[in-house]
């Protein structure tokens, strides 16, 4: 019996072995996930070289989905403007944000689910750029988020905050129009909006904002997107007046209600 007990003790695994294996598995899984996420993030901004489709493919897609309004030769029709001088950047912005093809005429093109793949969008952008050259996709330097944050925030407050709100939460304009929330907008689309001026937005050419100015603004907005609210709940970044009013009504009102309840109970 003593010999059998000794044999069993040699085959028993340490209780820490399972925990160690689980820990190693979690570390390996986390490392693989972090590496894959970094690789995806590094290639998330599209470039013309990313697409396997050609401008000829883009021409076919354009003729099937866009020519009804913009014309077979991009000359425009009664239902849509000419695309001469529009370029690849505006096409990428309008189609990849779901604004185009337009769902219906209205004060402003609404965003809807994107109808095309990234390759198809870039192919159409290449086609339009080849026929009607205009602003093209920017270099990685402009979108790297490494600009001057303080200067970018100041430029944003001066040039953009009156429509988009100082917290980039968007806001209402006149005649049923609005400035969209850009708290989750990508660096490429922030740049495209400044350069192409979609909807009611003015065009910020290099005379108004230099490429480095745009880089600083993009960097400040990207930093703002990643920064957590120091107070926890930001109440939609409505601003100090609205947030103070909210605290006054609900905070002070709650204290008054508790005081009344305590007084009633004591009586």
CB 117 within 8 A of CB 52: no
Q: Which residues are annotated as a binding site?
A: 66, 69-70, 160, 163-164
Q: Which residues are annotated as a binding site for heme c?
A: 66, 69-70, 160, 163-164
DSSP 52: S
CB 138 within 8 A of CB 186: no
Tabulate helix, strand, coil % of the chain (nearest 5). Answer: 55, 0, 40
The CA distance from 231 to 28, in Å, is 35
CA 96 to chain centre: 11
Query: What does residue 171 show for φ and ψ, rounded to 5 degrees?
Result: -175, 165
The CA distance from 23 to 17, in Å, is 10
Which tokens is 249 given? Answer: 């009504």
Which tokens is 203 given? Answer: 């065009």
Which tokens is 179 given? Answer: 């400035």
């Amino acid at each position: 019996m003593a010999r059998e007990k000794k044999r069993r003790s040699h085959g028993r695994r340490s209780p820490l072995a399972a925990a160690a294996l689980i820990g190693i598995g979690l570390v390996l899984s986390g490392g693989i996930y972090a590496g894959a996420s970094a690789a995806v993030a590094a290639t998330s901004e599209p470039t013309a070289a990313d697409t396997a489709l050609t401008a000829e493919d883009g021409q076919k897609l354009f003729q099937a989905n866009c020519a009804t309004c913009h014309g077979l030769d991009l000359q425009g029709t009664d239902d849509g403007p000419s695309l001469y001088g529009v370029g690849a950047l505006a096409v990428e912005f309008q189609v990849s944000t779901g604004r185009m093809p337009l769902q219906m005429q209205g004060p402003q093109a609404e965003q809807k689910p994107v109808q095309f793949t990234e390759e198809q969008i870039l192919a159409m952008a290449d086609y339009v750029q080849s026929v009607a050259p205009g602003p093209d996709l920017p270099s990685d330097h402009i979108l790297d988020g490494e600009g001057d944050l303080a200067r970018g925030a100041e430029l944003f407050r001066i040039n953009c905050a009156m429509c988009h709100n100082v917290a980039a939460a968007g806001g209402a304009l006149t005649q049923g129009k609005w400035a969209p929330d850009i708290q989750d907008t990508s660096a490429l689309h922030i740049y495209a909006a400044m350069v192409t001026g979609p909807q009611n937005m003015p065009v910020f050419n290099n005379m108004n904002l230099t490429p480095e100015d745009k880089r600083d603004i993009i960097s400040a907005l990207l930093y703002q997107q990643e920064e957590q609210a120091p107070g926890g709940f930001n109440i939609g970044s409505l601003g100090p007046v609205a947030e103070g009013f909210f605290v006054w009504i609900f905070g002070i009102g709650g204290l008054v209600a508790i005081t009344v309840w305590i007084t009633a109970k004591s009586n």
